Structure 1
């Protein structure tokens, strides 16, 4: 079913239409290397396929996915060392506008290996360089200066070592006063700090079901359980809207426009790398183009599912997003 008041079937919000400006922020990017082996087993030398290398990190993936949907964004990225230079070159090759922030050390690398025998994917993620308080202050100033007035700032991905868990709240306070709306997708102790109301509320907070259950301290088996939890975070002032991804059971949002569920399109999963970032890209682009929460949620779900259909770190394809969005199923809770 399509939510009442949504855009008509076939009116896919892709292309070069008008949109509010979007700035993505990636303080802990990675040079993503993806490959495969006949089998992933201990101790043996594993002969791998030729690697595919992509620019990675939450905000970078959001910008890449936005571009796939015909949208525009600027990526503010902290880069350092040879890996940082290579990542910057990949972003330039992709035609993404970039604001480069000097990182306090070499940009990290990550490795994704698929076991061709089982289809299982193994992901190895390094921590990144250590940040000082001065580095954090410089980053906050850079984001504040680049934040588009009336637009959206997307903070996605892990914090580098040394960055406080309260970074999102610090940034929300800096953006207060109408400079931009802050969308956050993070995890672990950084997510817990936002949920606990450590400072100013963010506009949109996204998490997955495992993170939601960890914060809630209990299972959330039903959609209404998840919606109640998300609504409680909104009521507590953690964020104006809270989104929880329930995996194959779709995505739920609670906020000023009510409580909604967008089904996850059934697709053959090849790689889940970047799916969460693609969801956030679809949702943010939908909001930037004036969609209401139900349709923006559906666009995010379509982008995430489309990314699961692609290998390694390729991200979503526009034709897949358009087809999956046209088949969207959104319902009120």
Structure 2
């Protein structure tokens, strides 16, 4: 069925803190062709503040919501990142680190192919990790979004410990790699994220098989909830939208077909719109999935590392069909 509600900017909401342990100063640029050997001269360079939680906060801001970006920054790249983020009007809680904030590049050629290159983050010590955890908890009043990679030195159990310290119904986790594996392989009822989001590749790697069909993805999401990994599990399926499972809940939202310009930022736009809806209407999972799907679709229509635009999302929203698949 088509959604009957409208995503309304400027509604009242509870506070949201997004957490970015390993941000990046993002560069997007154009090039005629990517070839080995000669000097390759980039054109139309654009610098933006990046990293999972940073982009989630930026997406929420673009959609008329509010979020404070807790972000670990250091060095000259970190200073530039902070200036760019503040210039966009996003409130920032800057956590100082030793070392240089990493950079990443999204280079698009004349054929529409995109090459994404990333540097590792600065090394963290155990005291850095402990200090960061305490600082996040001290500045969190409502929902907390932990999104993006972890810097070297941060242990895989960070997300689970953060969920435990925050308490039930607080943490939205969009993580990958070793932290995601740790969460899935060591479920703890006292340390469950409120929502766990996975993209299709991550979900398939954890499931050990393809999840090409909606029913397969939903079954895996339901298994995560049944094992106590998270209260709600959401799996992105690219052009097929996303599925969301919880106790007694099985939803699928499918977006319309659009021209894909760049897939960068789709996941962060989804998480931003999804969390913003939950901050406005607690536990409104169907509306959150609907909003997230529309925002992710809007994001792939923008170039480079740009996120969703509110006008595009509003236009797409009525075309996103949402289905309750509960047996």
**TM-score between the two structures when normalised by the length of structure 1:** 0.94
User: How far apart are residue 50 of structure 1 and its match?
Assistant: 2.9
Q: Render the CA deviation track for 1:284-318: whole Å, top value 9, x for unaligned.
A: 01111117212210100111111111111221111
CA contact (8 A) 2:225 2:232 kept: yes
Output the CA distance in 2 between the equivalents of 1:125 and 1:319.
Answer: 30
SS of 2:264's equivalent in the other structure is coil
Contact kept in structure 1, 2:75 and 2:99, CA below 8 Å:
yes
SS of residue paired to 2:316: helix
| 1:173-322 matches, cutoff 5 A | 173-176=164-167, 181-199=170-188, 200-256=191-247, 258-290=249-281, 292-322=284-314
What runs of 5+ residues in structure 2 fail to find an aligned partner?
A: none
TM alignment of 1:106-185, pairs within 5 A: 106-116=100-110, 118-148=111-141, 151-176=142-167, 181-185=170-174
> Do the aligned partners of residues 19 and 256 (structure 1) sit closer, same or farther apart at CA in structure 2, a change above 3 Å counting?
farther
In the TM superposition, what whole-angstrom CA distance separates every residue of 1:219-252 from its partner, at most 9, and x where no partner exists? Answer: 2232111111111110111100000001111100
Q: Distance in 1 between matches of 2:178 and 2:166?
A: 22
Rounded to whole Å, the distance in 1 between the matches of 2:118 and 2:8 is 32
Deviates more, 1:186-195 or 1:137-146: 186-195
Structure 1 outlier segments of 4+, above 4 Å: none
1:17 and 2:11 are equivalent in the alignment: yes
Per the TM alignment, residue 72 of structure 1 is displaced from its structure 2 partner at its CA by 0.4
Partners of 1:257 and 1:14 in 2: how far apart? 27
Verify the 8 A CA contact 1:197 1:236 in the aligned structure 2: no
The alignment partner of 1:130 has SS state of coil
Equivalences, count: 322
The 1:105–1:14 alpha-carbon spacing in structure 2 relative to 1, beyond 3 Å, is: farther
Superposition deviation, residue 104 in structure 1: 2.5
Matched residue SS, 1:18? coil
Kept after mapping to 1: 8 A contact 2:296/2:308: yes
Within 1, Cα distance between the matches of 2:21 and 2:202?
Answer: 21
| 1:28-39 correspondence to structure 2 within 5 Å | 28-39=22-33
Take 2:137 and 2:292, find their aligned partners in 1: how far apart are those partners?
26
Residues 197, 237 of structure 1: 8 Å contact kept: no
Structure 1 vs Structure 2 CA RMSD: 1.3
User: Structure 2 length as normaliser, TM-score?
Assistant: 0.96
Cα distance in 1 for partners of 2:248, 2:67 equals 25
Q: Give the 3-state SS of the residue equivalent to 1:239 in structure 2.
A: coil
Which segments of 5 or more consecutive residues in structure 1 lack a partner in the other structure? none
What is the distance in 2 between the residues matched to 1:198 and 1:37?
A: 46
Would the aligned equivalents of 2:25 and 2:48 in 1 still touch at CA under 8 Å?
Answer: yes
Q: Return the alpha-carbon distance in structure 1 between the equivalents of residues 256 and 118 of structure 2.
A: 28
